[in-house]
Copies of this chain bind each other. A is one copy, B any other.
Amino acid sequence: MDELILGGHTFTSRLFTGTGKFGSRSWIPKMLEASGSQMITVALRRVDSGGRNENILSFIPENVVLLPNTSGARTAEEAVRIARIAREAGCGKFIKVEVITDMRYLMPDNWETLRATEILAAEGFVVLPYVLPDLVLAKRLEEVGAAAVMPLGAPIGTNRGLDTRELIAMLIENCTVPVVVDAGIGKPSHAAEAMELGADAVLVNTAIATAEDPAMMGRAFSMAVEAGRLARIARMAGTSVEARPSSPLTGFLD
């Protein structure tokens, strides 16, 4: 597949994954291998630098880029602190900014996210902010230095797909930074649809981690992402209301 460049890093897979919700952490390396995912998000809280528990990082191969997230942050300031701790802990320069105060739908706080993005981008982080797909905000995120925008398709963990389809389409058409659809993608068809719309990548966690066979599901999503991307490159034809025959319709036996 064609390459995606993000934070100076070249990705040949456009499927980003996550570490949450796996029945056993031993699925993580299997899923990564089966899916070919080259970027995985991890909640900093799960990174046990003290070493008492087995560190989640030990399940992630070296060639996979870490995307620490600021899960648990309720303000820009908290997100900034978590990001700095992540960098000091050796998690690299990528950071997914996630600021959430609504505990029912886990909807991101777009404004706090914008503030944290501005601060962290100025400090040299490669910032990927998780947001409600708001075109005006997305343009502002670009201005303050976001490396990409990560709009949600549906609330985290719901597997409902692209409820916000039309709002995401506006971001895709108008943003100059990559658009990565994150949250809500529950089936490979949802991932393919996002890529057909023109998303640059998708992040899938729950749907893979909670499948009965997460490795096989990871592979399924990677194929769907590539299918959607290829279809966009191969240029799809439009839709129509009336039928258009594939086969000659004049009476065969005339």
Contact = CB atoms under 8 A, between A and B. Distances in A.
A154 B45 CA distance: 38
A243 B105 contact: yes
B78 A159 contact: no
Given A157-B243, A206-B244, A243-B158, A72 B236 contact: no
A107 interface: yes
Interface string A159-200: 110011111001000100000000000111110110010000
Given A107-B136, A170-B105, A224-B223, A249 B187 contact: no
Given A20-B246, A78-B252, A134 B136 contact: no
Nearest to A44: B252
A78 to B, nearest CB: 6
Contact of A220 (B132, B160, B212, B227): B227
Copy count, this protein chain = 4
A242 interface: yes
A73 B106 contact: no
A106 B249 contact: yes
Contacts of A251: 72-74, 78
B244 A187 contact: no
Contact of A224 (B136, B167, B192, B219): B192
Interface string A17-47: 0101100000000000000000000011110
Contacts of A165: 163
A243 B155 contact: yes
Given A187-B196, A227-B221, A245 B107 contact: no
A72 B224 CA distance: 35
A242 B212 contact: no
Interface stretch (A5-13, A95-103, A121-129, A142-150): A95-103
Interface of A: 18, 20-21, 43-46, 69-74, 78, 81-82, 98, 100-111, 132, 134-137, 139, 154-160, 163-167, 170, 174, 186-190, 192-193, 196, 205-207, 209-214, 216-217, 219-221, 223-224, 226-228, 230-231, 233-253
